[in-house]
Structure 1
């Protein structure tokens, strides 16, 4: 950690933060695709599609090509959903980071800097109209800088910030596919308190869920 500095966000970090968030989220497309393909219902749909195409065309080659087209269409849909999520976030709190996180005494945004490069980030905001629950948001570390304790240090930054301002709980949401993040949060004392299915067509088909974790600040 000696070569890194965790500091408060500045306006010059804007493009780097938005890019780091996008890159981090889009990394999960291959893992999500692999998860969907392992589902029995997905395998059943592909199998039925192949058999139906084979009966209609009486050609293994044409059936395989058609199945590849179906797979490609599904991959594109998954890719589209991830990009839509990134764009939505960049239109919301990440559109004006200064206003979203730095305008209030009870919210903040930090970045990790190494050799003038932003390699990590995290934000903290109170739940609307709450003086007890703080939300940890947008935690991300550059792929080539992981496994060095940066994510853990950023989480501690949010926990300390919440404690100093009298909050009692730090909460966050993460997807089921972010297994490494689950292990990190649990190691830091967070507990899984809720699971909900993503309300999209793909989310319902794959039972793709969002997990809520909470950390209770000790008095």
Structure 2
């Protein structure tokens, strides 16, 4: 198995890193769709629309079309949540990675490289905790599918943990969706604990049960 090494981000990585990030986020919408269509409330809605259309029009075809429209709308809402997040990220912190991560105090951005190919990425940025705790946020962790199972994600997380310890942070926090199951399992294996859950600020996330998780890894206890 080809080895890899972790290094600081370089400007020549720009387009590859942005592509890895976008693909890493949007690949999860099929999982979100399956979750949506497993919800009893969704099937109650589908049945109600079907019966209402059938009673109103008396047409089985029209009722079926109405149900198809419901499925289409729910699918588009799910997809839009992921793609909206990607668009926003690419237009903000991921627009100028050097400025936002390498030229700011307490921040950093790393990539994993194997035989000249970028096979993973992760970033760290100070996180303003309301209680005054000195925290850093683990962000933009992503490993392309074909390179998973090699311990790259784990190594990238440990890079952030080492950086946080050396920088004097008290804890590491991160935010991910429940649908990113591989990432959720990785964080739990590394000792991160779920401290909160919430519905992101997009339309219908509560109805779709689209849940985001906040994880925390305490460094104080390790010192």
Classify the TM-score, shorter chain.
Answer: over 0.9
Aligned-pair CA distance for 1:196: 1.2
Match of residue 38 from structure 1: 38
1:62-211 equivalent positions in 2, closer than 5 A: 62-128=62-128, 132-211=134-213
| Count of residues paired in the alignment | 219
Match of residue 8 from structure 1: 8
Aligned-pair CA distance for 1:127: 1.5
Match of residue 213 from structure 1: 215
The answer to which of 166-175 and 177-186 deviates more is 177-186
**TM-score for both structures, normalised by structure 1:** 0.94
The answer to which of 137-146 and 123-132 deviates more is 123-132
In structure 2, runs of 5+ residues without a counterpart are none
In structure 1, C-alpha distance between the alignment counterparts of 2:81 and 2:171, rounded to whole Å: 31
Conserved? CA contact 2:2–2:114, under 8 Å: no
Q: Deviations along 1:91-144, whole A, 9 cap, x unmatched?
A: 111011001110134211011112322121000111248772111000000011
In structure 2, C-alpha distance between the alignment counterparts of 1:76 and 1:208, rounded to whole Å: 14
Check 1:32–1:208 CA distance in 2 against 1; reply closer, same or farther (3 A cut). same
In structure 2, C-alpha distance between the alignment counterparts of 1:113 and 1:121, rounded to whole Å: 9
Q: Cα RMSD between the aligned structures?
A: 1.7
In structure 1, C-alpha distance between the alignment counterparts of 2:175 and 2:73, rounded to whole Å: 29
Aligned-pair CA distance for 1:55: 1.7
Conserved? CA contact 1:198–1:207, under 8 Å: no
Aligned-pair CA distance for 1:43: 0.9
Conserved? CA contact 1:191–1:213, under 8 Å: yes
The answer to which of 49-58 and 137-146 deviates more is 49-58
**TM-score for both structures, normalised by structure 2:** 0.92
Secondary structure of 1:127's counterpart equals: strand
In structure 2, C-alpha distance between the alignment counterparts of 1:131 and 1:161, rounded to whole Å: 17
